[in-house]
A and B are shown apart, each in its own frame.
Chain A
Amino acid sequence: MNFDPLTFLGQTLALLLLAPLLSGCIKNWKAKLQNRRGPRPWQVYFDIAKFLRKDMVISEHASWIFSLAPYVVFLTALLAGLMVPMISAPAPLRLFGGVLAVIGLLALGRFFLALSGLDPASAFGGMGSSREMTISAIAEPAMMLAIFTVAITAGSTDLSQIAQSTQSATWKLLNPAHVLAFAAMFVVLLAETGRIPVDNPATHLELTMIHEAMLLEYSGRYLAFMEWGAAIKQLVLMTLLVNVFFPVGLAGPQASAAALGISLVAYLVKLLALSAVVVIVETTNAKMRLFRVPDLLSTAFVLAALAMLSTFLFG
């Protein structure tokens, strides 16, 4: 229960370093599936390093919000990540908050991201912000319902405790409510990380872009923090999915070094498997028309609601 500076430091470093690698891996695999050679998985590190060195061009209409937003986006993603158990079950900041804090922090980051799109008064940014808000208005309740379903089964909104309690009962994995919740969470993951049926992460030049439209005015150091923050947010959401629904091999409190090692390997394998599924979904699907996206997300919402329902009726 005590605050452990070592795990705190370890998880911070893991979040910072693993996130760009994961984005790079997904980009690389996607290219491979499309018969392209693709960027190397560690290319994203070089991109961020380059952005950090470059000068910034800031619109003369931009206010202080524009300069504050990259730090808020980056830090909220990082803090949310510290509340999710990654390798060992008590997450470093578990005393600070559970599921609600994670969702709240991510929502705060999204709020500032949308503000920063509106702030420099560019037409594209405003469009991106309004789209992001439209999508998150449906995606967020679906995510909350899906996580609450698991929280009810575990009897706690503390993510570390959820992970531990789902770990002890192996067959809980096959609980129908969890299947419904997982399906809903997966759709939400695609929407929140701007993946293909909802948004195309590989484009800067489309009228349909969402996330990129908000970042269009950013350059240099701010852009680096924005991109890095987005990568961390993606890692956090994937960790949430992987460790809450499949907490196989997650090390408990006061675990030995060997148990931590096994836990790390299991975590990486699960993460890469989930990324592979995301890559396959992205490659085999076409991007949806923006007005069709609520159809997909409402499916996720209804699935999450049904998951919640079936835990109450047949707990």
Chain B
Amino acid sequence: MNPPVPPEIGSHVIPLMAALMLVVQMLLIAQRMLLTSIRLFAIQSLLLAGIAAVVAYYYNASHVYVVAVLTFIGKVVFLPWLLNRLVHRIQIHQETDPLLNAPSSMLVCGALTLLGYSVTRPFTSLEKLGSNTLAIALALLLTGFFLMINRRKALTQVLALLTVENGVMLAAVALTTYGMPLVVELGIFFDVLVAVMVLGILVYRIRENFASMDTGKLDQLKG
């Protein structure tokens, strides 16, 4: 067995990595190149896997290790690879202008994060893993939804969905339960995996049929 480590270090590392996840999310909102966005998502997932591993190590919750490994394999290696291949196949590398320009969407996301912080404020005493991890999880969720609404390309919307899922996972890991039951986690994980693969095919078909993956064009589909 490992020597006992003061859990104080764990409760410092976890909010730190959660804050880095938020930083990556902000960069993702300002980023327009699809390949860089995918790489940023991979970094965010790597941080999530790191948080899960730290939680598992310091709180002796061995089933969280499974979450860490699954997150690493699925979201750091497999999904970015899949999306990268998709980008190369459909030959679109850049997002067109989003509905709101970058500075104002940054401000909106700052406001959403503020909302996340203020909503989770009453719950801070429940958490044992640092003070603001739950707030950051909620902020990831809200800004992920905003990203999904704001962008036009189907691929970025898929990425936004994945960051929302990262937020949910972070909330699950960061709450006092040290993660949900393993069955639920496996369920969510494969759900997301299959969803992204199906969405990938869908994106490819959209691109094939309309010579664009701008989802705004889909409402003109008539007759």
Q: 9 more A-B contacts (CB under 8 A) besides A176-B15, A176-B18?
A: A179-B20, A295-B30, A298-B30, A298-B102, A299-B26, A299-B106, A302-B106, A302-B109, A314-B132
B45 at the interface (CB under 8 A from A): no
> What are 17 A-B interface contacts by the 8 Å CB criterion?
A176-B16, A176-B132, A179-B16, A179-B19, A179-B23, A295-B101, A295-B103, A299-B29, A299-B30, A299-B102, A302-B26, A302-B107, A302-B110, A309-B114, A309-B117, A310-B19, A310-B117
A137 to chain B minimum Cβ distance, whole angstroms, is: 12
B153 CB, min distance to chain A CBs, angstroms: 17
Binding site for B on A (CB under 8 A): 171, 174-177, 179-180, 183, 292, 294-296, 298-299, 301-303, 305-306, 309-310, 313-314
Binding site for A on B (CB under 8 A): 8-9, 12-13, 15-16, 18-20, 22-23, 26-27, 29-30, 101-103, 106-107, 109-110, 113-114, 117-118, 121, 124, 130-132, 135
A298 to B113, CA, bound (A): 15
Residues in chain A near residue B12, CB distance under 8 A:
171, 174
Interface of A is mostly: helix
Find out whether the CB atom of B27 lies under 8 angstroms from the CB atom of A299: yes
Chain B residue nearest to A296 in the complex (CB): B30
How far is B109's CA from A147's CA once the two chains are assembled, in angstroms? 22
B110 touches A305 (CB 8 A): yes
Residue B117 contacts which of A179, A295, A313 (CB distance < 8 angstroms)? A313
Considering the chains assembled together, what is the distance between the CA atoms of A82 and B131 in angstroms? 38
Give the residue among B29, B30, B118 with the most A Cβ atoms within 10 A. B30
Interface of chain B, helix or strand or loop or mixed?
Answer: helix
Q: Is the CB of B113 within 8 A of A306?
A: yes
Q: Are B132 and A313 in contact (CB under 8 A)?
A: yes
* Residue from the set B9, B12, B27 with the largest chain A CB neighbour count within 10 Å: B12
Q: Are B121 and A313 in contact (CB under 8 A)?
A: yes
- Min CB distance A178 to B, Å, is 9
Residue of A nearest to B27 (CB): A299
Q: Please tell me if the beta carbons of A180 and B19 are within 8 angstroms of each other in the complex.
A: yes
List residues of chain A with CB within 8 A of the CB of B26.
299, 302-303
- Name the A residues within 8 Å of B27 (CB-CB): 299
Closest to A292 in B: B102
Q: Compute how far the CA of A292 lies from the CA of B26 in the bound complex, rounded to whole angstroms.
A: 16
Residues of chain A contacted by B107 (CB below 8 angstroms): 298, 302
Q: Which residues of A contact B15 (CB under 8 A)?
A: 176
* Chain A residues in 8 Å Cβ range of B19: 176-177, 179-180, 310
Bound-state CA distance A180–B102 (Å) is: 19
How many angstroms between the C-alpha atoms of A314 and B114 in the bound complex? 13
Residues of B within 8 A of A174 (CB): 12-13, 16
A275 to B30 CA separation, bound complex (whole angstroms): 25
Q: List the B side residues contacting A183 at CB < 8 Å.
A: 23
**Could you say which residues of chain A place their CB within 8 Å of the CB of B102?**
292, 294-295, 298-299
Closest B residue to A305 by beta carbon equals B110
CA distance A174 to B131 in the complex (A): 13
Report the nearest A residue to B15, measured CB to CB: A176
The answer on a CB contact under 8 Å between A306 and B110 is: yes
Bound state CA distance, A313 and B135, in angstroms? Answer: 11
